[in-house]
Copies of this chain bind each other. A is one copy, B any other.
Amino acid sequence: MITRDVALRRVSDALSQHSLDALVAVSPWNVAYTAGTSFFTQRTIPERLAIVVLTAKAEPAFIYCSIEDEHAREEGWVSDLRGYTEFQDKPMLLLAESLEEKGLSNGRIGIEMRFLVAKNYEELRSALPNVELVEADPIFDRMRASKSAEEVAFLERITYWTDQAIQTAFSACEVGDTERSIGDRMIVEANGNGATGLLHLVLATGPNLLKAHAAPGATRVEPRGMIRTDFGMYWGTYVSDVARTALVHPVSEQSNSTYRQLEQVHQKVIGAIRPGMPASEVYQRYKSGFAAAGLNFKMPHVGHSIGLTVHEYPMMHPFDQTPLEPGMVIMLEPGIIGDEGMYHTEDMILITEDGCRILGRSRDWGEPLIVGRDR
């Protein structure tokens, strides 16, 4: 996890680099990054705002619903805590007050325009008509893109546990099991290692394999079939995200071969990744690799950075020209469409000084996991 010192040094660098008087965090991810904690109600009750005000000189100020007092005190690192009474106080006015009190009524303020809702944005503009509001999302994105050593270690661990939960649930599965029972097992396994909530769970077999985002249901595993999952959990303020495909005994030659071709292209692209390569090139390499192998590929992206949220910057899509840098942690998740549906795999890589390294695999997925053998 990010430490106070690293986070606040990066904030201070960003303020001077972008000539800003303040940065204002409002999303769960940027609140967690700059206050050391966030609240799950930011995701489930979005109107219950949490706001961190960051300036070069003053201590950060943390504005949040007073229901979360204990949580803010115990889990976060901000000492200037400003709990508001929900429905009575207006959080955007508390933000305006805090900026005024720091002498910034005419300041240049970076705020998350891709998270702050239009209504709150208008409230802030009316309260402080002379403030210059700057779109700070790309500034926060860049700030979080290169992970600290502690973040890399934590992301590696939670990715391993997520991968292991999938492996354990897949390995235990028998012909006749429902998608739902496999999904439940994955969640319980991850919770046992400290996961704190479900981010997403796609789990498909049989006819559902063709649906990109099928929720686990009552469909049962059949011989010669496939199971595909895309599984993400919260681990405190961080998230994990792993996709895998298993083959059901007795495996057809076609499935076995398609699975291996996907993994081969995947490993070949990973082997070619170097710092300085544009994110878009990673996409193009998968695309041409799949074309050469005659595989049906039509994803709009092949991966994304990860950390405090699931699609972090940079994204591996054709329009993101960001050069990869050492310290970036990226989920590569190529998928292709075979006769039976989508084959999907997903690995975490860390960009290093001279290439990249896979982190968090609980087994060698180059070899298909074959489930549902007779016991």
Contact = CB atoms under 8 A, between A and B. Distances in A.
A100 interface: no
A300 to B, nearest CB: 4
Interface in A262-315: 300-301, 310-311, 315
Given A45-B311, A196-B215, A88 B191 contact: no
Contacts of A373: none
Given A68-B213, A86-B301, A184-B187, A199 B44 contact: yes
Interface in A158-207: 180, 183-184, 187-188, 191-192, 196-201
Classify the secondary structure of A's interface with B: mixed
Interface residues of A, number: 59
A118 interface: yes
A116 B183 CA distance: 33
Interface in A319-366: 319-320
A117 B119 contact: no
Most buried by B among A43, A197, A301: A197
A88 B319 contact: yes
Interface in A72-117: 85-88, 113-117
Contacts of A198: 197-198
A232 interface: yes
Contact of A118 (B113, B188, B317): B113
A309 B61 CA distance: 30
Per assembly, the copies of the chain total 2
Contacts of A119: 113-114, 135, 137
Interface in A17-59: 39-41, 43-47
A136 B118 CA distance: 12
Interface string A112-153: 011111111110000000000001010000000000000000
A300 B212 contact: no
A67 interface: yes
A8 interface: no
Given A188-B184, A300-B67, A310 B212 contact: no
A253 interface: no
18 contacts: A40-B200, A44-B310, A45-B310, A45-B311, A47-B311, A66-B300, A70-B212, A86-B317, A87-B301, A88-B300, A114-B119, A180-B192, A183-B191, A184-B188, A191-B216, A196-B215, A197-B200, A197-B201
